[in-house]
Amino acid sequence: HTPYPRTVTICCCTRTHTPCQPALWKMTENCFMHHRTKVLTIDTMNPNVKKVEYAVRGPIVQRAVQIEKELKAGAKKPFSEVIRANIGDAHAMGQRPITFFRQVLALCSYPELLEGNEFPEDAKERARRILQACGGGSIGAYSASQGIECVRQDVARYIQERDGGIPCNPDNIYLSTGASDAIVTILKLLVCGEGRNRTGVMIPIPQYPLYSAALADLGAVQIEYYLDEENCWSLDVSELRRALVAAQQHCSPRALCIINPGNPTGQVQSRQCIEDVIRFAAEEHLFLMADEVYQDNVYAEGCEFHSFKKVLFEMGPEYSDTVELVSFHSTSKCYMGECGFRGGYMEVINMDPDVKVQLTKLVSVRLCPPVPGQALLDVVVNPPRPGEPSFNTYIKERTSTLQVLAEKAWLTEEVFNTVPGITCNPVQGAMYSFPRITQITGNLLLAPDMFYCMKLLEETGICLVPGSGFGQREGTYHFRMTILPPTDKLKIVLEKVKQFHQSFTQQYS
C-alpha cells in the first residue's frame, strides 16, 4: 500500500465529501488520498516559524528534562541531579526574592491583608497606591495597554534619577510582558519591503537568540556583526561598518541592536564605545535598540553601566533631538530575578509621533501586560527609601545578592582559565560566562560544541547551551554557562566541567 501523502488535500475517495473510516485508507486502493490528511503539516505550515531557533530551550534542554524524568523513575546515572546552568533563571537556582517586593504583591493579590499587622507600612502604602490605579481597585482588571499610568510615572522618575536628571517622559514608557515582548514589538514595526528592500537588522554575534528567532519569524534579514573575543568581547565600530556595507548589497539595513551588558558574552560597554555606536547609527541612519536588561549586573572593576539614553543626551541636541532609540528593561534579571512575572518596560526616544500612535494601537490588541508584573515593576523602580521601615532589609538583600553574583562571576572566570584548552573572558556583567573551547571535534551527527554539551550532560548532569545557539566565529566553539548556581554548587559544577573537559579532550583530540 502506498503511504498516503501528507500534503495532498483533495479527496479522491469514491464517497467524496464523506470522510472515510479511519482504517479505510489501508484497505481500499482509491481511498488513500482523502481528507484525513492534516490541514496543518510541517510542509504546509508557516515557513518562517520553521526557521525559528531558540537554543536556550533547545535540544540539550529537552534531553535534560528527559534525564530528570529518568532519574525520578530510578534510572542509574553517574550523577543524582540535573543542574540547569542553561538559562538565566535566578530563583530556580535558589536566589531569594526581595522580601519587600513580595509583600507588596501579596497585598495587591489579597487586599484584605491591608487590614492586618503582618506587613510594614511602606509595603502597604505601595500596595494601596497600585490598587488605587487599578480599575475597581483590583489587579484583576485590565490596565491601559501602555501600562498603568502611575507605574509609568514611577518608571520615568527612576530613569531620570538613573541618568542624572536627563528628563524622561512617562508618555514614552510602554510596559511589557518581559523585555522579549517589547523587543519583538519594535522589530515588528520596523519590518517592511521585499527582496533587496527587505528590512535588515544588525545584531551582535554572539547574540541572545530571541533576536535571531524574532527576525526569522518576521522574515527580516539578520545582519551579523561580530564582537571581538580577543578584546573582552568589545564592540568595534569598524566591524559594524563592515557588516553594514556587506549587508547593503542584499537588504535594507534599518536598525542596530546592542546588548549591554552583553548576553551571552558578559562584556560591559565603555562610555566611549557607546558614543561611537550612537554616532555610527546617526551617520548610517539606523534605528537604535538598546537591550539593557542587565543594567544592575556589573561586576568588573573599572566597569560601569552607561545607559544609551544618557550618553545620547550628553552628546548634545545634534544627536539627542534626532537619533531614534528604544531602550529595554525587565524585572527578570539584575538583583530581582523575577522571571516568572514577565514584567518589563521600554522607553522610546525620538519616535515619529505617527508611528507611536501605531505602536500604541498595536499593543492594545493584546489588551495589557500582566498586571502583577506591572505591580512588581512599580516596586522595583520605587523601592523603599531611607527612613522607611523596609529600607534596611531591602538594601541588605539587594547588596548581598549582587555581591554574591560578582563573586561567582570572578570565580567562574578564574577556574575556567586554569583549564588547558578553555579560555574565558572576564564576566564583566550580566549572568553568563561564554568560554571558548579549543581542540574539540564533533561526530558525524553533531557539531563539536553540541557534541561537547550533550556528552557533558549525559556524563555529569550539567546542562549548558552550545555556542552555536548564540552564533560564534566559524571554527570557534563555546558554551554559555550561567553564574547562577549557589556558590558551593557552582564550585562543584566548575570542577566537574574541568574534569570532563580533560577527559573529553583526551578521548576526542
Does 141 bind a second copy (CB under 8 A)? Our answer is yes
Binding segment for a second copy (CB under 8 A), chosen from 161-169, 321-329, 405-413, 445-453, is 321-329
Copy the grid coordinates of residue 100: 519587600
What string of DSSP letters covers 160-176? HHHTTT----GGGEEEE
Least Cβ distance, residue 426 to a second copy (angstroms)? 27
Does 338 bind a second copy (CB under 8 A)? Our answer is yes
Does 143 bind a second copy (CB under 8 A)? Our answer is yes
**416, 458 Cβ separation under 8 angstroms:** no
**173, 152 Cβ separation under 8 angstroms:** yes
Distance CA 222, CA 220 (A): 6
Least Cβ distance, residue 262 to a second copy (angstroms)? 19
Distance CA 211, CA 264 (A): 13
Does 169 bind a second copy (CB under 8 A)? Our answer is no
Cβ-based nearer residue to a second copy, 358 or 438? 358
* φ and ψ at residue 302, rounded to 5 degrees: 85, -10
Burial, 49: exposed, middle or buried (Cβ in 10 Å; 0-12, 13-18, 19+)? exposed
Least Cβ distance, residue 422 to a second copy (angstroms)? 28
Least Cβ distance, residue 304 to a second copy (angstroms)? 27
Query: How many Cα atoms occupy the beta-carbon half-sphere of 36 within 13 Å?
Result: 15
Residues numbered 422-481 forming contacts with a second copy, rule: CB under 8 A: none
Least Cβ distance, residue 406 to a second copy (angstroms)? 20
C-alpha distances in angstroms, 15 versus 24, 34, 35, 438, 499? 12, 10, 11, 64, 66
Cβ-based nearer residue to a second copy, 198 or 473? 198
Peptide bond into 22 cis (omega under 30): no
Does 223 bind a second copy (CB under 8 A)? Our answer is no
Cβ-based nearer residue to a second copy, 48 or 418? 48
Least Cβ distance, residue 178 to a second copy (angstroms)? 7
Least Cβ distance, residue 33 to a second copy (angstroms)? 11
Among 317, 386, 387, 475, which residue sits at the site for a second copy (rule: CB under 8 A)? 317
- Count Cβ atoms below 10 Å from residue 267 Cβ, excluding itself: 29
Among 71, 282, 402, 492, which residue sits at the site for a second copy (rule: CB under 8 A)? 282
Residues numbered 50-79 forming contacts with a second copy, rule: CB under 8 A: 50, 52-54, 56-57, 65
Paired with 329 in beta bridges are 345
Does 402 bind a second copy (CB under 8 A)? Our answer is no
Q: How many residues bind a second copy (CB under 8 A)?
A: 111
Cβ-based nearer residue to a second copy, 61 or 422? 61
Cβ-proximal residues to 503 (8 Å cutoff; 6+ apart), any chain:
none
Residues numbered 96-115 forming contacts with a second copy, rule: CB under 8 A: 97, 102-103, 105-107, 109-110, 113
Least Cβ distance, residue 362 to a second copy (angstroms)? 6
What string of DSSP letters covers 321-356? TT--EEEEEESSSTTT--GGG-EEEEEEES--HHHH
Does 420 bind a second copy (CB under 8 A)? Our answer is no
Does 393 bind a second copy (CB under 8 A)? Our answer is no
Least Cβ distance, residue 326 to a second copy (angstroms)? 10
Cβ-based nearer residue to a second copy, 365 or 445? 365
Binding segment for a second copy (CB under 8 A), chosen from 181-189, 221-229, 402-410, 490-498, is 181-189
Distance CA 240, CA 256 (A): 9
- Name the residue type at position 109: S
- Name the residue type at position 187: L
Least Cβ distance, residue 423 to a second copy (angstroms)? 30
Does 214 bind a second copy (CB under 8 A)? Our answer is yes
Least Cβ distance, residue 354 to a second copy (angstroms)? 4
What would you report as the CA-atom Rg of the chain, rounded to the nearest whole angstrom? 25
In 483-509, which positions are buried (b, 16+ CB within 10 angstroms) versus exposed (e)? bbbeeeebeebbebbeebbeebbeeee
Among 189, 237, 404, 411, which residue sits at the site for a second copy (rule: CB under 8 A)? 189
Element (H, E) at 102: helix 99-109
- Name the residue type at position 110: Y
- Count Cβ atoms below 10 Å from residue 182 Cβ, excluding itself: 27
Distance CA 313, CA 60 (A): 43
Does 210 bind a second copy (CB under 8 A)? Our answer is yes
Among 188, 198, 491, 498, which residue sits at the site for a second copy (rule: CB under 8 A)? 188
Least Cβ distance, residue 283 to a second copy (angstroms)? 5
Does 305 bind a second copy (CB under 8 A)? Our answer is no
- Name the residue type at position 85: A
Nearest to 180 by CA among 155, 217, 143, 152: 217
Residues numbered 359-378 forming contacts with a second copy, rule: CB under 8 A: 361-362, 364-373
Binding segment for a second copy (CB under 8 A), chosen from 132-140, 383-391, 413-421, 487-495, is 132-140
Copy the grid coordinates of residue 196: 533587496
Does 92 bind a second copy (CB under 8 A)? Our answer is yes
